[in-house]
């Protein structure tokens, strides 16, 4: 990659030499030139300096060096001119005659920089490899012209220079074409940069036309200096701004606003003037009535006119913003009618505003984000956001809803799985306990029934033992069934949640502090609360090795609150499949809210509030 | 007569003891009582019993370990009679096994019908088959709507069911309180209606009927 900052530095040094030469010549030899040369140095300095600044900031972009070249070339030309002027004077500089010949052919140097800028701005690269030819021509034509001037003088010299003059004109046209093509193909940021260039570049053809016209009409070339000076000052400033200020925020807005107000004032003045003249013809001039009515008319058209101008100018100066706003407005209507989903806002923004735009539903409030390449200002984005408030908020609400539904579905499937597990456990308990006992009992009775027939009478003692064993089987079956039923739903709950919890803690091998209000808790909250208490107590004993447990049941503003605290080692977690996760599902299925706080210092507190 | 040597595999201890006493009362020699499928295989290899009674649902996985152990034993000892006890009816698999002979499949509560249970066990021990009446009923039900079974008379269908359970002609006659000759003629008639060849060998007739029922279902 080329280091254009080095080239710009070298050119700046050359410019310094040329400027010094000019000053020396005008001070020592031709004092009359001093003012003219000072102006020349003053107008070229911005180009040289800004070019170096741009090249230093963007060393791989040729634009900075070209900008410097613009100034340097002008300075070189004026330096040569100053040198040539000394020819014929008593203290003529050495070689002034020869330089005079050369200086006659160097004016094209002024155009090299602007032409190159037109061809290469703002990327520093030609549009395509073919356009490189035009870049080469920017150097070849002035050199050829100079050669023609040197080799042929007089009439012949005139004719020899014609092809190069034509070439220069063609190059001007080509560079304009290049600018137009590049503008069409660029994205928004580049266009913004190019618009800056366009402002000053329009001066180029104007300067050329003025020069040709002046020469044709008056045979003089005084305007050239003025036109070139304008061009040479305006160009580097606009190029420098375009290259260095990447985020040209507000430029379009300011420009559009200025134009809009100027047009508004002009239009209102016209309306007022026309009205005043027309009314004056009717009622005679200078009556207060005429002024009043004309003012009224102007005031009446003010607002509609302002709105009209705003839309018209915005559409021209800020087409992208206008397009986006109108598309978003249309989209909002479609959302309101239910024709599209609010989430498609992103698609609409991308389609009409490019990939730099994105919707952030996760933000509060939801926002639209635009990166610098989108070419939109912060104010534009704010405006878009306020237009798109409805779909944005809808998208947030829907995202929340989806999240909640997902959680509900997950909780539901956990509940179903837990219920399945429970059923399997009950089935197994029934099978291994009650069913097996009953089969065994049946067999025992059969045996008692059969044996007397086979072996005569059984001794009374043995019969008694057998019957005892049978009754024992029945008792064991009953107690198995009772335990099973208790697991499904503790029957003690029939006497109230407080009674059930009191009964439950009786089997806890440590004192439990109870503060239970006798509140009637409806199902399914009561069952959920009971299992919450049982699980929390179990955890406190098993995992947290607590020394103290406190259970409280009370009425609060939101409903009924059950809390279990311990002073154990904390570490309660709701990992999938853990007892607490199952409890949360139960509590939430009953419409309650569960909160768990657990730490090493304060122990664990599990609390549920049921409506 | 030598006492038949039996191995009992059943995870519930009370039921296991109950069956063992039932069998001993009936003259079997219970050589091993085990509670899971692995122990069953070990006991069979150690004792080389004449008959095996196994619960289908047993540890270690409490699913169908007993059935899988039975399949394994059947593969190693093709002539070892096995009687499987189940909690619920499972048709196709059990019928296929029963159709191979020396195999029985009964619901567990059948144990309480002591005479039927012992009868079924002795049939299996002699190389016959024993299918639970509920299994047979569901088989006949699933076959009965259409096809040759629909052409059978109600009486013939009763006889077919009892045949499928694995009972002998005499047992069928006793069960239906018919003369054995009448049962014979019913059997001849239903076999020809089903297109099966009649043979004098009771076992082979039963197996033919079972094969027919499973193939049709």
pLDDT at A223: 65
Q: Which two tokens stand for residue A602?
A: 């304060």
Cis before A365? omega within 30 = yes
pLDDT at A201: 63
Q: Record the pTM.
A: 0.46
pLDDT at A250: 47
Specify whether the backbone of A63 is left (phi greater than 0), alpha (psi in -120 to 50) or beta. alpha
Range with the poorest average pLDDT among A58-67, A505-514, B16-25:
A505-514
pLDDT above 90 covers what percent of chain A?
Answer: 5
> Which helix H or strand E contains A368, and what residues bound it?
strand A367-370
State yes or no: pLDDT of B46 exceeds 90.
yes
Cβ-based contacts of B25 with chain A (< 8 Å): 447, 450-451, 454
Cβ A605 vs Cβ A564: under 8 Å: yes
State yes or no: pLDDT of A531 exceeds 90.
no
Rounded to a whole number, what is the distance in Å from the CA of A472 to chain B's nearest CA? 12
CB burial readout A554-589, b (16+ within 10 A) else e: eeeeebbbbbbbbbbbbebebeeeebbbbbbbbbbe
Determine the 3-state secondary structure of B109 from DSSP.
helix
pLDDT at B45: 94
* Cβ contact B112–A431 (<8 Å): no
- What residue in B sits closest to A451 (Cα-Cα)? B25
Interface residue ranges in chain A relative to chain B, Cβ cutoff 8 Å? 428, 431-432, 435-437, 439-440, 442-444, 446-447, 450-451, 454, 473
User: How much is the ipTM here?
Assistant: 0.74
pLDDT at A503: 80
Rounded to a whole number, what is the distance in Å from the CA of B107 to chain A's nearest CA? 12
Cβ-based contacts of B62 with chain A (< 8 Å): 428
Average pLDDT taken over every residue of chain A: 81
Beta strands in chain B (DSSP E): 5-9, 29-34, 51-55, 82-86, 103-107, 129-131
**CB within 8 Å of A388: residues ≥ 6 apart:** A328, A331, A332, A345, A368
pLDDT at A377: 79
Looking at residues A324-340, what average pLDDT do you find? Answer: 86
Residue with tokens 């407005």: A329
Q: Catalogue the long-range contacts made by A489-497 (C-beta closer than 8 Å, 24 or more residues apart).
A: A489/A527, A490/A527, A490/A530, A493/A526, A493/A527, A493/A530, A496/A520, A496/A521, A497/A521, A497/A526, A497/A529, A497/A530, A497/A553, A497/A562
pLDDT band at A37 (very low <50, low <70, confident <90, very high): confident
Q: pLDDT, tens digit, for every residue of A570-606?
A: 777 766 556 788 888 888 888 889 888 888 888 888 9
* Cβ contact A436–B12 (<8 Å): yes
Q: Which CATH architecture has domain B5-131?
A: 3-Layer(aba) Sandwich (3.40)
pLDDT at A252: 57
Q: pLDDT, tens digit, for every residue of A560-572?
A: 999 998 887 777 7
Residue with tokens 């009650």: A434
Cβ-based contacts of A442 with chain B (< 8 Å): 109, 111-112
Which among A602, A484, A591, A598 is positioned nearest to A529, based on CA atoms?
A591
Percentages (nearest 5) of helix, strand, coil residues in chain B: 60, 15, 30
Q: pLDDT, tens digit, for every residue of B70-88?
A: 989 988 998 999 999 987 7
pLDDT at A245: 61
Beta strands in A477-592 (DSSP E): 512-516, 549-556, 559-566
Looking at residues A140-163, what average pLDDT do you find? Answer: 81
Cβ B132 vs Cβ B105: under 8 Å: yes
Looking at residues A246-251, what average pLDDT do you find? Answer: 46
Cβ-based contacts of B21 with chain A (< 8 Å): 443, 447
Top pLDDT among A89 and A577 is at A89
State yes or no: pLDDT of B217 exceeds 60.
no
pLDDT above 70 covers what percent of chain A?
Answer: 87
* Rounded CA separation B24/B21 (Å): 5
How is residue A188 annotated by DSSP? H
Cβ B130 vs Cβ B106: under 8 Å: yes
State yes or no: pLDDT of A246 exceeds 50.
no
Top pLDDT among A431 and A144 is at A144
pLDDT at B44: 95
How is residue B150 annotated by DSSP? G
* Rounded CA separation A198/A377 (Å): 21
Looking at residues A392-399, what average pLDDT do you find? Answer: 88
> Which helix H or strand E contains A322, and what residues bound it?
helix A319-336
In chain B, ranges of CATH 1.10.10.10 domains: 136-216
pLDDT at A355: 77
Range with the poorest average pLDDT among A23-32, A57-66, B155-164:
A23-32
C-alpha torsion A567→A571→A573→A579, nearest 10: -60
**CB within 8 Å of B107: residues ≥ 6 apart:** B85, B86, B87, B88, B89, B132, B134
- Beta-strand pair A559-566/A549-556: antiparallel
pLDDT band at A253 (very low <50, low <70, confident <90, very high): low
pLDDT at B8: 95
pLDDT at B80: 93
* Rounded CA separation A584/A418 (Å): 12
Rounded to 5°, the CA angle A159-A161-A166 comes to: 105
> What are the C-alpha distances in Å from A212 to residues A40, A117, A146, A164, B27?
21, 22, 20, 16, 137
Cβ-based contacts of A473 with chain B (< 8 Å): 14
Determine the 3-state secondary structure of B129 from DSSP.
strand
pLDDT at A249: 41
State yes or no: pLDDT of A221 exceeds 60.
yes
pLDDT at A47: 85
**CB within 8 Å of A544: residues ≥ 6 apart:** A566, A568, A569, A570, A571, A572, A603, A604
State yes or no: pLDDT of A247 exceeds 60.
no
> What are the C-alpha distances in Å from B178 to residues A212, B149, B170, B172?
137, 22, 9, 8
Euclidean distance between the first and the last CA atom of chain B, given in angstroms as a whole number: 41
When mean pLDDT is compared over A284-298, A433-447, A485-499, the highest value belongs to A433-447
Determine the 3-state secondary structure of A109 from DSSP.
helix
State yes or no: pLDDT of A1 exceeds 60.
no
Looking at residues A143-152, what average pLDDT do you find? Answer: 84
pLDDT band at A509 (very low <50, low <70, confident <90, very high): confident
pLDDT band at B50 (very low <50, low <70, confident <90, very high): very high
Q: What is the number of residues in chain B? A: 217
Looking at residues B22-51, what average pLDDT do you find? Answer: 93
Nearest neighbour of B25 by CB, restricted to A428, A447, A473: A447
* CB count in 10 Å sphere of residue A369: 14
Residue with tokens 């059943």: B10
Determine the 3-state secondary structure of A317 from DSSP.
helix
* Rounded CA separation A173/A280 (Å): 51
* Rounded CA separation A165/A142 (Å): 9
Looking at residues A328-349, what average pLDDT do you find? Answer: 87
In chain B, ranges of CATH 3.40.50.2300 domains: 5-131
Nearest neighbour of A431 by CB, restricted to B18, B87, B112: B87
> Which of B8, B10, B12, B66 is most worth mutating to test chain A (most A CB atoms within 10 A of its CB)?
B12
> What are the C-alpha distances in Å from A31 to residues A152, A461, A474?
32, 152, 135
CA-based radius of gyration for chain B? 17
Looking at residues A28-35, what average pLDDT do you find? Answer: 80
Main-chain phi, psi angles of A330, to 5 degrees? -65, -40
* Rounded CA separation A6/A17 (Å): 17
Domain over B136-216 is classified CATH 1.10.150.20 = no
* Cβ contact B111–A443 (<8 Å): yes
pLDDT above 70 covers what percent of chain B?
Answer: 92
Q: Where are the alpha helices (DSSP H) in B7-109?
A: 13-25, 37-47, 65-76, 91-98
Q: Which two tokens stand for residue A449?
A: 């029934």
How many helices (H) and strands (E) in chain A?
Answer: 21, 7
Bridge partners (DSSP) of residue B104 are B83, B130
pLDDT at B4: 93
Rounded to 5°, the CA angle A553-A559-A560 comes to: 15
* Rounded CA separation A448/A458 (Å): 9
Residue with tokens 């093709």: B78
State yes or no: pLDDT of A208 exceeds 70.
no
Top pLDDT among A411 and B205 is at A411
pLDDT at A248: 46
Cβ-based contacts of B14 with chain A (< 8 Å): 436-437, 439-440, 473
Specify whether the backbone of B139 is left (phi greater than 0), alpha (psi in -120 to 50) or beta. alpha
Q: pLDDT, tens digit, for every residue of B121-142?
A: 999 998 888 888 888 888 777 7
Q: pLDDT, tens digit, for every residue of A339-373?
A: 888 888 888 888 777 778 888 877 777 888 888 77
């Amino acid at each position: 990659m080329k280091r254009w900052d080095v080239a710009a530095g070298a050119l700046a040094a050359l410019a310094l030499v040329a400027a010094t030469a000019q000053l020396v010549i005008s001070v020592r030899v031709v004092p009359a030139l001093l003012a003219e040369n000072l102006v020349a140095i003053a107008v070229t300095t911005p180009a040289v300096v800004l070019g170096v600044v741009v090249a230093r900031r963007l060393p791989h972009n040729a634009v900075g060096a070209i900008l410097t070249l613009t100034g340097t070339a002008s300075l070189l030309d004026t330096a040569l001119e100053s040198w040539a002027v000394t020819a014929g004077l008593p203290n003529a500089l050495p070689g002034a005659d020869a330089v005079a010949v050369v200086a006659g052919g160097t004016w094209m140097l002024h155009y090299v920089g602007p032409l190159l800028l037109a061809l290469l701005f703002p990327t520093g690269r030609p549009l395509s490899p073919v356009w490189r030819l035009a870049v080469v021509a920017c150097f070849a034509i002035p050199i050829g012209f100079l050669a023609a001037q040197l080799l042929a003088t007089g009439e012949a010299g005139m004719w020899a220079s014609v092809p190069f003059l034509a070439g220069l004109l063609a190059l001007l046209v080509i560079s304009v074409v290049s600018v137009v093509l590049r503008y069409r193909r660029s994205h928004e940021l580049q266009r913004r940069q190019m618009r800056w260039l366009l402002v000053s570049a329009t001066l180029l053809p104007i300067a050329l036309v003025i020069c040709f016209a002046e020469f044709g009409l008056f045979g003089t070339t005084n305007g050239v200096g003025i036109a070139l000076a304008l061009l040479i000052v305006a160009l580097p400033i606009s190029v420098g701004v375009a290259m260095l200020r990447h985020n040209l925020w507000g430029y379009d807005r300011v420009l559009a606003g200025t134009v809009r107000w100027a047009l508004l004032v002009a239009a209102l003045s016209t309306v007022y003037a026309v009205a005043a003249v027309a009314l004056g013809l009717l009622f005679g001039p200078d009556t207060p009535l005429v002024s009043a009515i004309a003012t009224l008319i102007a005031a009446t058209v003010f607002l509609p006119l302002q709105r009209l101008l705003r839309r018209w100018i915005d559409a021209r100066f800020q087409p992208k913003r206008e397009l986006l706003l109108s598309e978003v407005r249309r989209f909002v209507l479609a959302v309101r009618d239910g024709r599209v989903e609010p989430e498609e806002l992103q698609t609409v923004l991308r389609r009409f505003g490019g990939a730099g735009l994105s919707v952030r539903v996760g933000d509060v409030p939801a926002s639209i984000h635009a990166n610098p390449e989108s070419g939109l200002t912060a104010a534009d984005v704010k405006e878009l956001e306020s237009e798109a408030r409805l779909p944005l908020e809808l998208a947030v609400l829907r995202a929340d809803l989806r999240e909640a539904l997902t959680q509900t579905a997950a909780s539901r499937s956990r509940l179903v799985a837990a219920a399945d597990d429970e059923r399997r456990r009950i089935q197994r308990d029934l099978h291994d306990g009650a069913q097996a006992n009953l089969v065994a009992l049946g067999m025992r009775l059969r045996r008692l029934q059969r044996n007397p027939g086979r072996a005569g009478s059984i001794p009374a003692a043995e019969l008694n033992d057998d019957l005892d064993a049978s009754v024992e089987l029945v008792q064991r079956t009953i107690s198995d069934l009772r335990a099973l039923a208790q697991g499904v739903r503790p029957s003690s709950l029939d006497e109230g949640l407080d009674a059930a919890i009191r009964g439950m803690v009786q089997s806890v091998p440590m004192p439990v502090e109870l503060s239970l209000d006798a509140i009637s808790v409806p199902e399914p909250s009561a069952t959920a609360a009971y299992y919450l208490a049982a699980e929390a107590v179990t955890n406190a004993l098993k995992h947290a090795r607590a020394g103290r447990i406190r259970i409280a049941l009370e009425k609060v503003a939101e409903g009924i609150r059950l809390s279990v605290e311990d002073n154990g080692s904390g570490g309660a977690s709701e990992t999938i499949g853990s007892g607490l996760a199952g409890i949360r599902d139960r509590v939430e299925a009953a419409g309650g809210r569960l909160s768990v706080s657990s730490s090493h210092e304060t122990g664990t507190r599990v609390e549920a509030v049921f409506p | 007569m030598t006492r038949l040597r039996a191995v009992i595999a059943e995870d519930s201890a009370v039921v296991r003891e109950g069956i063992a006493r039932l069998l001993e009362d009936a003259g079997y020699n219970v050589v091993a009582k085990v509670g899971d499928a692995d122990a069953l295989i070990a006991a069979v290899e150690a004792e080389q019993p004449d008959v095996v009674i196994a619960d289908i649902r047993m540890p270690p996985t409490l699913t169908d370990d007993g059935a899988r152990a039975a399949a394994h034993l059947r593969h190693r000892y093709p002539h070892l009679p096995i009687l499987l006890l189940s909690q619920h009816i499972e048709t196709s698999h059990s019928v296929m096994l029963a159709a191979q002979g020396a195999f029985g499949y009964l619901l567990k509560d059948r144990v309480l019908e002591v005479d039927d249970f012992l009868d079924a066990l002795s049939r299996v021990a002699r190389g016959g088959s024993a299918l639970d009446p509920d299994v047979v009923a569901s088989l006949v039900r699933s076959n009965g709507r259409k096809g040759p079974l629909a052409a059978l008379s109600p009486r013939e269908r009763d006889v077919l069911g009892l045949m499928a359970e694995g009972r002998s002609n005499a047992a069928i006659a006793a069960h239906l309180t018919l003369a054995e000759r009448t049962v014979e003629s019913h059997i001849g008639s239903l076999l020809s209606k089903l297109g099966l060849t009649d043979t004098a060998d009771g076992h082979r007739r039963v197996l033919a009927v079972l094969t027919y029922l499973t193939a049709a279902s």
